[in-house]
């Protein structure tokens, strides 16, 4: 299906939300994933300037059919953060009525963070598949950063949210964070077959993407070989 896959990685403050000081500081990535034949697409983690993201889709001749949320933090889906009110899925739904795909364990967190209705959310379990046109997107429950954090595997691309960065991983000292859970999630991701390219939730490294094999070699979060070693290194 590679010839039909539509995939764009967009950096907040550069590719959308240009001039927004919070977006520029937070360096979030949003993603557009779709089918070039049916022209259907979803957006991953829309925040800051959802109108810009919708305009980019329209310019590419694509039609929004859903949203995939990696987790509930406002810099990914909107809400109150550090005294700022960030636009996100609530503002998107005011323009486009589409389902918001979340992990079951994240549903209440998303509702509380954004104020959207339960009827707007589609709750999923680990290994569910969302199809966008003929493009299947596999939903992987990877708790630790938050209880319902999820990654998305589409063909040879792993959209890893704040579970795994090219350098480091998501913090676990926020409400709902769990150091043991993220260790297990990282170990599970390390065992994915093939060698998907990792596309993280923030640009916390020089490069925006890298092969999983390279990330496993260079990222310090893969150095511990056991949960006990992880606890010693990270104090979990």
pLDDT tens digits, 97-135: 999 999 999 999 999 999 999 999 999 999 999 999 999
Q: Residues with Cβ < 8 Å from 102, sequence gap 6 or more?
A: 69, 72, 110, 121, 122, 123, 124, 148, 150
Q: Residues of the chain with pLDDT > 90: what percent?
A: 94
Give the residue from 49, 41, 42, 40 showing the smallest Cα distance to 11.
49
Q: Which fold has domain 2-234?
A: Metallo-beta-lactamase; Chain A (3.60.15)
Mean of the per-residue pLDDT values of the chain: 96
Distances (CA, A) of 99 to 36, 41, 164: 20, 12, 25
Read off the DSSP letter of residue 46. -
**Of the ranges 1-5, 51-55, 81-85, 158-162, which one carries the lowest mean pLDDT score?**
81-85
**Rounded Cα gap, residues 29 and 60, in angstroms:** 18
Question: pLDDT at residue 83 above 80?
Answer: no
Alpha carbon 182 to its chain's center: 15
pLDDT recorded at residue 1: 57
HSE at residue 5, side-chain half, CA atoms within 13 A, is: 13
Task: Please state whether beta strands 84-86 and 79-81 pair in parallel, antiparallel, or not at all (unpaired).
Answer: antiparallel
Looking at residues 183-191, what average pLDDT do you find? Answer: 97
Would you place residue 232 in the very low, low, confident or very high pLDDT band (cuts 50, 70, 90)?
Answer: confident
Average pLDDT over residues 155-170: 98
Write down the domain spans for the chain: 2-234
**Where do the DSSP E strands lie in 95-164?**
100-103, 121-124, 129-132, 135-141, 150-154, 157-161
Compute the distance between CA of residue 137 and CA of residue 156 in angstroms, rounded to an integer: 11
Residue 9 has pLDDT above 70, yes or no: yes
pTM of the model: 0.96
Distance separating alpha carbons of residues 77 and 93, to the nearest angstrom: 12
Angstrom distance (rounded) from CA 48 to CA 78 = 7
- Residue 147 Cα to chain centre, angstroms: 14
């Amino acid at each position: 299906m590679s010839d039909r896959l539509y995939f764009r990685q967009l950096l907040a403050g550069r590719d959308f939300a240009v001039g927004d000081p919070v977006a520029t500081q937070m360096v979030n990535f949003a993603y557009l994933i779709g089918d070039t034949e049916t022209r259907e697409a979803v957006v991953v983690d829309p925040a800051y300037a959802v109108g810009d993201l919708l305009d980019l889709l329209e310019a590419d001749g694509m039609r929004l059919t859903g949203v995939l949320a990696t987790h509930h933090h406002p810099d990914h889906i909107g809400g109150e953060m550090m005294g700022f009110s960030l636009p996100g899925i609530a503002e998107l739904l005011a323009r486009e009525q589409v389902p918001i795909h979340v992990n079951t364990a994240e549903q209440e967190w998303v509702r509380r963070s954004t104020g959207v209705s339960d009827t707007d959310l589609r709750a999923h379990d680990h290994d569910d598949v969302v199809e966008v046109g003929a493009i299947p997107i596999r939903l992987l429950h990877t708790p630790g950063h938050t209880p319902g954090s999820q990654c998305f595997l589409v063909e040879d691309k792993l959209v890893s949210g704040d579970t795994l960065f090219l350098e480091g991983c998501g913090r676990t000292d926020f409400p709902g964070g769990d150091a043991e859970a993220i260790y297990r999630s990282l170990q599970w991701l390390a065992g994915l077959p093939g060698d998907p390219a990792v596309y993280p939730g923030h640009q916390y490294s020089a490069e925006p993407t890298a092969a999983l094999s390279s990330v496993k070699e260079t990222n310090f979060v893969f150095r511990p070989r056991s949960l006990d070693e992880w606890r010693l290194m990270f104090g979990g």
